[in-house]
Amino acid sequence: MPTPIHERKLANAIRVLAFDAVQKANSGHPGAPMGMADIAEVVWRKFLKHNPVDPNWANRDRFVLSNGHGSMLLYALLHLTGYELSLDDLKNFRQLHSKTPGHPEYGYTAGVETTTGPLGQGLANAVGFAIAEKTLAQQFNRAGHEIINHHTYVFLGDGCLMEGISHEVCSLAGTLGLGKLIAYYDDNGISIDGEVEGWFSDDTQKRFEAYGWQVQKIDGHDTDAITQATINALNETSKPSLIMCKTVIGAGSPNKQGKEESHGSPLGADEIKLTRETLAWVDDAFVINQEIYDAWDNKAKGQALQGNWQADFDNYKKQHPMLADELLRRLNGDLPADFDKVAYDFIKDCQSKGESVASRKASQNTINALQPLMPELLGGSADLAGSNLTWFHNAKALEHDPAGNYIHYGVREFGMTAIANGIALHGGFIPYVATFLMFMEYARNAVRMSALMKQRVIHVYTHDSIGLGEDGPTHQPVEQLTALRSTPNLHTWRPCDTVESAVAWVEALKTKTTPSALIFSRQNLACQSRDDDQIANIAKGGYILAKEKGELKAIIIATGSEVEIAMNAFNSLDGQGIRVVSMPCAEVFINQDNDYRESVLPSNIRARVAIEASHTDFWYKFVGLDGKVIGMTTFGESAPAKQLFNHFGITAEAVIQAVTSLIKG
């Protein structure tokens, strides 16, 4: 048997691929891949359970590169271990439409589990993976069959730990005892601005021990130490583990290792030549000899691991056929077979009851109606369950029942949302999370990541306008709806009553590749009258709620609580020449065919008024510059809701005046 290649040489393969790709692109971050190469070699060759032939194997370990600027580390690993990522792909690093974008992008590259780059969010996603694994295992594993049994490994850097989201999610991970979460901290002491000790002097060990984590400190270039620390982490099943790896950024570069020069810039041709000599690497750029490929190749091992799992799953399916089918349904992201019937029966029931309740209560009623059919719903709220009304009849909190279906996230809006992204990416669950609409701002970047990664995460936001009243302008959203609506691949629903609230939930659950923001009121809203055709058209995002009498002369467009105001104006005008359009989801409406849009908003009718207790600018795309928008252009005030609507002129009288003036020309 030939002598195995020394582990350091295998790690050096990562280093040379990283600095060669960055040099060719003349852009990128070689320092982190070079500094973490020894850690990566140990984790990926000795411990990570994965199959390059089937990157979506359900029971694979998840690997997250939270310090995503070091993306060439991950790309090199995927290439070397046998994923569909060629040398040409590596040479195309950071180029248009390549499989190797500047930061790892979910959906671009086989083996990339999540999009990372905004520091700290990959760590948060990893917490979501670990929650999903633990909960799914509790729900489906049976004696003799650990069908769900894998770990989540995450690499992270100083920047991830400086970001506040790291505190939110690591605190919760310790509380929940996520023993299958293993984090490797690249403790190199360098960021773009230089040595971090001037602005990052935390005692990280004590910090994580206080969270309830197992913490180990090692030399990140000592493969034996990395191996033993990982074994210790695997043996600690009741706590997440942080392995603090003291490393040298840009390790191997004679003149730039340990310095910020290696962090975010190519090493340069001269330095690369010296680095090759230092590493005793004789091959040219992008040349890896077959012996190294053979030592790295994980295809046979991965297929054997998956084959053993599949045999176990086949036996599991014989003993527990209904459980097996349910697990596969949930992992595929499919809704139950009778979902449409149950959902639409409930919607019809809401219309027939005609209840006047807050849309946040209508949301809770919908969850209660659909959840028994959908055990994959994994809900949660940022300490506001009693206000968001996200707690449901069959809710079981994870802190009390590991097989539960509800997460008390605490006051952690950003962490909550990024964790939910990880839960959705893992599969087996449809997560929803909740807070006040105003505090979406704390979570804004994670909401954006839901949309960027095309994940079915449902963001529930209540207390949606000045209508929340006395809490005042700090809590009254004004510009938040515009921010959500301007986010690509996000559906923002603001329903006006129980029926639209139910439809919003149903459509959010049916949309596999688009997250949804469901916007609900604090105050009670009247249920509007509709026929079956109108109910069906709610799902199109906008529809005619009240049809004009006689010749159409003007159109009133409204959402949420302001639909009632629009209807009051319509009734005062006796509907003469006036149409009311309810538009609970503008993004969905815009995506309808032209014939439908024209039937609702005829282009020849220029007299249009939009009313919404939110920032006015968004609505000019629907009313044109000649139309009128009644809404907010300032922050709110502290007062009862009715007083505030009158104070800011968001009234039926204002709508009537605007409509009348437009008709008169």
Q: Is 475 annotated as contributing to ligand binding?
A: yes
Where are the strands (E) in 572-622, listed by range? Answer: 576-582, 608-615
Q: Is 544 annotated as contributing to ligand binding?
A: no
82-90 CB contacts, 8 Å cutoff, 24+ apart: 82/52, 82/53, 82/296, 82/297, 82/298, 82/299, 82/302, 83/52, 83/55, 83/109, 83/110, 83/111, 84/52, 84/110, 85/109, 85/110, 85/111, 87/286, 87/288, 90/17, 90/20, 90/21, 90/286
CA 656 to chain CA mean position, Å: 42
Which residues face 518 on adjacent strands? 460, 493
CA distances from 164 to 122, 181, 236, 428 (A): 13, 19, 26, 28
Q: What share of the chain is helix, strand, coil (3-state, %, to 5)?
A: 45, 15, 40
Q: Is 393 annotated as contributing to ligand binding?
A: no
CA distance 456 to 510: 9
- Three-state DSSP state, 257: coil
CA distance 468 to 476: 7
Which 3-state string (H, E, C) describes 4-51?
A: CCCHHHHHHHHHHHHHHHHHHHCCCCCHHHHHHHHHHHHHHHHHCCCC
Question: Tokens 């701002």 sit at which residue?
Answer: 441
Q: Is 439 annotated as contributing to ligand binding?
A: yes
Q: Is 188 annotated as contributing to ligand binding?
A: yes
Other C-beta atoms closer than 10 Å to the C-beta of 173 total: 29
Pairing assessment for the beta strands 194-195 and 190-191 based on DSSP bridges: antiparallel
CA distances from 44 to 36, 73, 295, 436, 444 (A): 12, 11, 12, 42, 33
Q: Is 158 annotated as contributing to ligand binding?
A: yes
Token code pair at residue 607 = 């007299």
Q: Is 52 annotated as contributing to ligand binding?
A: no
Q: Is 608 annotated as contributing to ligand binding?
A: no
Q: What is the CA radius of gyration of the chain?
A: 28
Q: Is 653 a catalytic residue?
A: no
CA distance 76 to 83: 10
Q: Is 118 annotated as contributing to ligand binding?
A: yes
Q: Are 243 and 231 in contact (CB under 8 A)?
A: no
Backbone φ and ψ of 292, nearest 5°: -70, -40
Q: Is 190 annotated as contributing to ligand binding?
A: yes
Residue of 133, 261, 413, 587 marked catalytic: 413
Q: Is 79 annotated as contributing to ligand binding?
A: no
Token code pair at residue 640 = 């009862």
Q: Is 636 annotated as contributing to ligand binding?
A: no
Q: Is 117 annotated as contributing to ligand binding?
A: yes
CA distance 505 to 343: 9
CA distances from 170 to 407, 412, 549 (A): 15, 11, 60
**Angle, helices 71-81/31-42, rounded to nearest 10 degrees:** 40
CA distance 545 to 500: 11
Q: Is 463 annotated as contributing to ligand binding?
A: yes
CA distance 370 to 364: 10
Nearest to 398 by CA among 423, 421, 366: 423
| Annotated binding-site residue numbers for Mg(2+) | 158, 188, 190
Binding residues: 29, 69, 117-119, 158-159, 188, 190, 263, 360, 387, 439, 463, 471, 475, 522
Pick out the residues of the known binding site for substrate: 29, 263, 360, 387, 463, 471, 475, 522
Binding-site residue ranges for thiamine diphosphate: 69, 117-119, 159, 188, 263, 439
Catalytic residue positions, numbered:
413
